[in-house]
Amino acid sequence: MIFLITSIVFAAVLLLSVALYQFLLRKSVLTERLENLFPEISIKLRQPAKSGTWDEKLIRIGETVKLTPKEQSKYIRMLVAAGYRKESIYRFLGSKILLALVLPTLYLILYAAPHQAYFSSQGNLMMAVCAIVGYLLPSYWVYYKKKNRQVRIFHTLPDVLDLITVCVEAGLSMDAALIRTTETPQFSEDPLAREIRTATMETRAGKPRIEALKDMAERTMVDDVKSFVTMLSQTERFGTSLSQALRSYADSLRTRRRQIAEEAAAKTTIKMIFPLVLFILPALLVVILGPALVQISKLFK
């Protein structure tokens, strides 16, 4: 009887998944003909992917999600700040929908079916929790990647500014100094060097350097990079010494980085209280008071 019920539930979930797949991924004949006649209407933020792959399926699932322009812009900014291309928005949305469907299905097959907890209140609650966790998990992953990338950019910026200062003092222009900095093997895989390389390519294509650097600051979403671009803009506007401005700003960033490290070191004293009280002090009390308790117990025998 249990095997029969499990088989029925499995077949129902499988049929439901196939129905959702057919409903979400298949296009009507009229839609395909219109896209072939008017290809400019169907231009979207997507990368070419091989037909039939999971990448293409995620893109199609993500395209079914209707977002407001404000929400779509927020997701695109977060993805770009995390190091992904803006065309990944549909993969991101597709992964959210897919995980929101897969996690409850796995809970239903792996736990609810063996324990016969199909329609109980606890089972429904757990399925809702799995769906919510699956929907929010890609957002937390992208947020984690964004924070790590911003920290790497913040710690690399003073060293990059030092190298730019040396290049400017050696007689190179600002554009040549930026290009020379990105060609250094030390910063070959650094996210800040990649952003600078993108800005220099935009400058070569005809975009003004300050606008390209402002776009770089918007992509990284790091306040220190925005301040660096503002400093460069003011230096060019007022004609002050570029090398002195770069050196002063690099020194201020290095001072701030040292202050953050000192603040983190000062917080370790408070953070060590809980491990000391919970793990180390009980062991010390046993070692110190153990022999005394043994001697006292012998006196009362």
At 285, the amino acid letter reads L
- Please write the tens of the pLDDT for every residue from 154-186: 989 988 998 999 999 888 888 899 889 888 888
- Please write the tens of the pLDDT for every residue from 238-279: 888 888 888 888 889 889 889 988 998 888 888 888 888 888
Which pLDDT score is estimated for 41?
Answer: 38
Q: Is the pTM of this model over 0.85?
A: no
Enumerate residues 6+ apart whose C-beta is below 8 A from 200: 175, 178, 179, 182, 212
Which pLDDT score is estimated for 46?
Answer: 46
**Location of structure tokens 């650094």:** 190
User: For domain 149-265, which CATH number applies: 1.10.3470, 2.60.40, 1.20.81, 1.20.910?
Assistant: 1.20.81
Tell me what percent of the residues of the chain surpass a pLDDT of 70: 81
Domain ranges of the chain: 31-148, 149-265
pLDDT exceeds cutoff 50 at 2:
yes
Which pLDDT score is estimated for 9?
Answer: 56
Q: What is the dihedral of CA 128, 93, 29, 69, to 10 degrees?
A: 110
Check: CB of residue 58 under 8 Å from CB of residue 94: yes
Q: How far apart are CA 127 and CA 130, in angstroms?
A: 5
Q: How far apart are CA 60 and CA 136, in angstroms?
A: 19
Which pLDDT score is estimated for 15?
Answer: 62
More confident residue, 301 or 124: 124
Averaged over 119-123, what is the pLDDT?
Answer: 75
Q: What is the dihedral of CA 9, 15, 17, 21, to 10 degrees?
A: 180
At 75, the amino acid letter reads Y
- Please write the tens of the pLDDT for every residue from 202-252: 998 988 988 999 999 999 999 999 999 999 888 888 888 888 888 888 889
- Please write the tens of the pLDDT for every residue from 25-61: 554 554 555 555 554 433 444 445 555 577 787 888 8
